């Protein structure tokens, strides 16, 4: 069985973002933390099947850096596609000044 899936790779900082999000939410609500972790994971799996539905940033500087993004609830997942690999650069809350963090 052949697969056309892309490989999804979280950079170390994106792994840290993900862990911090889940830990922060879990302090108040473990089931909500599990839910957001599941939603982010599901969206990463969907990206592995087709990375192109991600939006191209309106911000010229971010767009020129080659980022695409998807939104999962209040979180923005910034990624780049290189050949058959999707590199997840950051997973950030939408209220943050994400431009300074990319």
- Is 52 part of any domain? yes
pLDDT of residue 46: 92
- Is 81 part of any domain? yes
The pLDDT tens digits of the residues spanning 3-60 come to: 578 999 999 999 999 999 999 999 999 999 999 999 999 999 999 998 887 899 999 9
The pLDDT tens digits of the residues spanning 85-98 come to: 999 999 999 888 88
- Is 19 part of any domain? yes
pLDDT of residue 1: 41
- Is 98 part of any domain? no
- Is 2 part of any domain? no
Res 2 pLDDT > 80: no
Confirm if 92 and 21 have CB atoms less than 8 A apart: no
The pTM for the full model equals 0.90
- Is 64 part of any domain? yes
pLDDT of residue 3: 59
Tally of domains in the chain? 1
Print burial letters for 20-34: b (CB count within 10 Å at least 16), e (below 16): ebbeebeeeeeeebe
Phi and psi at residue 95, to the nearest 5°: -80, -10
The CATH number of the domain where 39 resides is what? 3.30.2310.20
* Rounded Cα–Cα distance for residues 74 and 60 (Å): 22
- Is 97 part of any domain? no
- Is 55 part of any domain? yes
* Sheet with 75-82, edge to edge strand ranges: 7-10, 85-93, 75-82, 68-72
The whole domain housing 76 covers 7-92
């Amino acid at each position: 069985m052949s697969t056309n899936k892309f490989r999804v790779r979280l950079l170390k900082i994106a792994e840290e973002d993900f862990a911090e999000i889940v830990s922060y939410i879990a302090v108040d609500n473990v089931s909500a933390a599990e839910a957001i972790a599941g939603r982010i994971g599901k969206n990463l799996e969907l990206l592995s099947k087709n990375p192109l539905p991600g939006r191209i940033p309106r911000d010229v500087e971010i767009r020129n850096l080659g980022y695409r993004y998807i939104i999962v609830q209040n979180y923005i997942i910034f990624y780049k596609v290189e050949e058959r690999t999707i590199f997840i650069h950051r997973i950030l809350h939408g209220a943050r000044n994400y431009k300074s963090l990319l």
